[in-house]
A = this chain, B = another copy of it.
């Protein structure tokens, strides 16, 4: 297991972590510059942040600073109520794929979606099996184009509390079942076309976590995300903790991932309306560096 205590060369910042500074939206170029100043070598930006600044300028800025992208957030949201909705999702995912390529991302992260309309509080139906079959079909279609573009896709199983509105793929086992079905040759590849993003926040509770990380192996491990689970957690979406402030044994999970040969970035992704987004982003980034050394 790598020693993270001496430096932060394997730290990546998911840019949602500092999307607000003192409660105010922070443009992506300023996030990039603040990361670069600290010797942070990788980021994982969100599509809306890239769109606001422009794909071309962000692409140039990333190259200027020699930054890597540990991933690109995000494709997915496949389920829909009708053919037009499914087609719109397909088109949007193609654009996400193009952007990931343009930015040279290590993978396109997929948050697959849940029941159509649920995110707006008006689920169109209650058939989660249907949503899951649309997810399978959507990933299958996108995978063909991702192969041509040589861009790995990373299914991110989300915590079961997001099953209705954000992602109906909720365990690593379920995600790997999809990988094996849609990309059977990937298990034997050095780097599978279809793999997973392991975010400790979403999977730490899973009694089969170690077993399924071993099943994933190096070939299907495309991303490793960290933050912490707070007790109490006061909001289902935006109350994630800084590493070390919660109950997740992050180092243990990292040891399992690294035992499979994972040698990539540890990406910090924190959504925190009540705490970290209220602070100055410079403080948040400094804290990420410190906690990367002490609690990851």
Contact = CB atoms under 8 A, between A and B. Distances in A.
Copies of this protein, total: 2
Nearest to A205: B163
Given A170-B205, A207-B171, A165 B118 contact: no
Interface in A158-174: 159-161, 163-165, 168, 170-171, 174
A241 to B, nearest CB: 11
Nearest to A121: B231
A126 interface: yes
A123 B231 contact: yes
A249 interface: yes
Interface in A207-238: 207, 229, 231-234, 236
A292 interface: no
Contacts of A123: 231, 247
Give chain A's interface secondary structure class: loop
A231 B164 contact: yes
Contact of A119 (B127, B161, B165, B231): B231
A86 interface: no
A126 B248 contact: yes
B126 A249 contact: yes
Given A126-B248, A249-B127, A160 B229 contact: no
Nearest to A169: B207
A231 B114 CA distance: 11
A119 B230 CA distance: 11
Given A118-B247, A160-B159, A233 B232 contact: no
A1 to B, nearest CB: 17
A204 B128 CA distance: 9
A181 to B, nearest CB: 13
Interface string A142-168: 000000000000000001110111001
Contact of A160 (B126, B128, B205, B246): B205
Contacts of A69: none
Contacts of A128: 204-205, 249
A206 interface: yes
13 contacts: A115-B247, A118-B247, A119-B231, A128-B249, A160-B161, A161-B233, A163-B204, A165-B231, A165-B232, A168-B205, A170-B205, A232-B236, A234-B236
Interface of A: 115, 118-119, 121, 123, 126-128, 132, 159-161, 163-165, 168, 170-171, 174, 204-207, 229, 231-234, 236, 246-249
Q: When A and B form their complex, which 4 residue pairs have the shortest distance between CB atoms, in order from nearest?
A: A163-B205, A126-B249, A160-B205, A118-B231
